Structure formats: structure tokens, C-alpha cells
Amino acid sequence: MSKKLWGGRFEKETDALVEKFTSSIDFDKKLYNQDIIGSIAHARMLAKCGIISKEDAAIIIKGLVEIKIEIEEGNFECTSKLEDIHMHIESRLHEKIGPVAGKLHTARSRNDQVALDMHMYVKEKIHETVGLLDTLAGVLWKLAEKHKNTVMPGYTHLQKAQPVTLATHLKAYYYMLQRDRERFSSALKGADIMPLGACALAGTTLPADREYTRELLGFSKIYENTMDAVSDRDFVMEFLSCASILMVHLSRMAEEIILWTTSEFNFIELDDAFATGSSIMPQKKNPDVLELIRGKSGRVFGNLMAMLTIMKGLPLAYNRDMQEDKEALFDTAETISACLEILPKVLVTMKVNKQNMARAVEDSFADATYFAEYLVKKGMPFRQAHEVVGKMVAYCIKKGKKIKDLSILEFKNFSDLFDEDVVVEERLPDEIINKNN
């Protein structure tokens, strides 16, 4: 009978199907580094408190460091017989150093151990995400600065509304990303609390020093309550929420650029290196990268829903349901990193068709609000000015003209407040565009 590390009270072997069903090693092996770092700190704390000898701690730590190297060099075998990464590492430690390995799991349970690993993983991912967000935001800002005078239609209801600059449009996304950055940074607070020492749920009677482990592992705080420590996954839900809102933003940006690359808009051309072709239609140049960013938002939202649902009915403290937190978290963390990594490259390589953007403004009545505000400056109440210009638009549609092409006589037919200065050869973007933002 293959002995489980928890096998003392069992008389029968675990059914193979149960082993397979309960195993998480296929996905939680990602946590090997956090697990080993956590175990090293724990061993040091046990030795400092005299719970194990300094010599035993040194043997344990040496063994753990060797296991880390084995894993990184691909010399580590995984089996569903050993449930998860914690059991794998502990069992390998037994093989390497014998019964001394059994001392590592003193004043600790897998419940606080897995919670610790998850906290460390989320902390790392928050730092990584904030770095990637800064790069993307920097690219957007630079591109916006380059296009301060690139006039384009601004839309509401996807109908041309008022002229804006591409800079204003791009900076809208820049500011969304700044909020994402703040959101992720504040999620760090929830991740930066150390659960280790809570053990299974009730702490330990041994004279452990959690404060010392906290310091070794660089956490800001310790959980005040041991049951909360092992059953809290708020920090995972927070990360997934921040990621979902971020994906809303990336997906909107992707959708907009996709629209702009269509021949109907023709505002943007993607670089060949960041577009794909069709296997049947030779003329096609498809924005697959952007479509995938838009599509991947679905799985990120799904992971948040999964996590909320996993947690919502759980009695305190640890329940095995919580093992389901990992795939959702890993998948989201990897998905947002991939999206944040590729999007800046799409942006810096794409070509902006300034003329088509300007033409799209010319071909529209996007300057109507400008003329209404002209009348307001001459003293007309805005509601009345709106009505007057509305009538002018209707007149222009009938005549096949644009407002700016009307003669002074035609202007004056609508209101005496129009002066000669309303008719100009060409109106500079500065005049008709609010560039305050």
C-alpha cells in the first residue's frame, strides 16, 4: 500500500479515481517556487523558536533548495498519487533527507500553506501587471502626443457627433488604464497579509513566531484571525475583479481599432506583422490579435464568476472547493499579461490615415455644435441656437451642402446673429475643437 503523508488513520488505499479527481498537481505545480520559499522561511522560524534544531533546519533548507533546482531543470516527476505541489515537495524531501523532513510540517497545515502560496503568487502578479500597464499607458500617451492635431469624428451612439482629435480619443484609454493601475495597486493590500501560522484553522499550541515569518517573507501584516486566514480568498476575487475591469477597457479599445481598420472607416491600417490573412480570401487582412483580446475578456469575466460562485456558499474554514481557485486565477493572470504584452506592439506599428479621419469630419455635420455655440457667444440661449442650427442641418441635407459651405446670406436667413466672420475658407481644427482635454 503506497503510504499517504496523511495515511495514519486509513486502512484502505485511496481509489485511483479519487486520486485523479482530487489531484491538483497538473496546475498547482506553478506554485513550486512560492511553496519552497514559504517552507524555507517556515523552517527558519521553527529553528529560531527552538521547535526544531538549527541543524535539522539547515538539512531541510538544503534539501528544499536542491528540489527547486530539480524542478527547474526538469528532473522532477509528478504523480496524481501525491495530490498537489505541497505533497510532492514534502515527499521528495523525505526521499532526500529521510525522517527529518517530517519536522517541516510542524506548526503548519496545507491550509495555511496553500493560502500563503496564493498570496505570494497574487502579489507577484500584481507587480507584473502594474509594470505592463505602465508600458501600455506610456505607448498610448506618446501616440496621443503625436496626434494632437489629428482631427477625427467623435461618436455617440456610433453616429458622428463632434470633431475631436485622435489624441483626446487615445487619452481616454490612457486614463482608464490609470484607474486600472490604481485598482490593482489597492488590491495589493488584500494580498499582502500573511496567513502562515494559522495552521489548519486554529493556530498552534507550539511557541511559533508568526511575526518572524512575516518579516522573512516580506508581508506587511499577519491575519488577525486564524479562521479568516485560511478561508479568505477575497484577494483572489479582487485580482479577478481588477482584471475583469481591465479587460473591459482592452476589449473596448480592441473593438474600436477593429472598426477603424474596416474599409468602411479606413482610419487605421495594421502592420503586416500584427495582422493575419484568410485561407480562402486572398484580399483579407484580419485584425485577429485585437479580436482575440476582445474575445479573451469572456474567459476573464468567466473566471471571476467562477470564483465568486465557488466561495459564496462555503462554511468556515477551509473546504476543498477552494482548490478550484487556482485555474481561474492562473488563467486570468496569464491572459491579462499576454494581452498587455501584445497590445502596445499593435499600437506602435499601426498606421494612422489622418486624411481619412479628417475627411470623415468634413463629410459630416460634426461641426453643428460649433455653430450653435457661435450663436450662444452672440447672446442666443442655447436651446434656441440648437433649434436654429437643426434647421440649418435639415436645409443643408436638402441642398446637398455642408454648413460651412453656406453663403453669408444663407446663414443670415437662419439668424441675424451670424456675422461675416462665420464664413471662412478653412476653419482651423483649433477653432472647432475643444482641446482642453
Q: How far is the CB of 326 from ligand ARG (least distance, A)?
A: 6
State the catalytic residue, choosing from 53, 220, 278, 407: 278
Q: How far is the CB of 122 from ligand ARG (least distance, A)?
A: 14
Question: Cβ distance 361 to 153 under 8 Å?
Answer: yes
Q: Kindly state whether residue 244 participates in binding ligand ARG, applying the rule CB under 6 A.
A: no
Q: Kindly state whether residue 323 participates in binding ligand ARG, applying the rule CB under 6 A.
A: yes
231 noted as active-site residue: no
For residues 19 to 48, the per-residue mask of contacts with ligand ARG, x marking binding by CB under 6 A and - elsewhere, is -----x---x--------------------
Q: How far is the CB of 21 from ligand ARG (least distance, A)?
A: 12
Q: Kindly state whether residue 110 participates in binding ligand ARG, applying the rule CB under 6 A.
A: yes
Q: Kindly state whether residue 196 participates in binding ligand ARG, applying the rule CB under 6 A.
A: no
Name the one range near ligand ARG by CB under 6 A: 120-128, 208-216, 275-283, 318-326. 318-326
Question: What's the sign of the alpha-carbon dihedral 337, 343, 344, 346?
Answer: positive
Q: Kindly state whether residue 320 participates in binding ligand ARG, applying the rule CB under 6 A.
A: yes
Cβ closest to ligand ARG, residue 125 vs residue 294: 125
157 noted as active-site residue: yes
Q: How far is the CB of 318 from ligand ARG (least distance, A)?
A: 6
Separation between Cα atoms, residue 336 and residue 327, nearest integer Å: 14
Q: Name which of residues 66 to 85 contact ligand ARG (CB under 6 A).
A: 84
Among 122, 199, 230, 322, binds ligand ARG (CB under 6 A): 322
Among 45, 59, 114, 307, binds ligand ARG (CB under 6 A): 114
Which residues belong to the active site? 157, 278
Residues of the shown chain interacting with ligand ARG in the complex, contacts defined by CB under 6 A = 24, 28, 84, 110-111, 114, 318, 320, 322-323
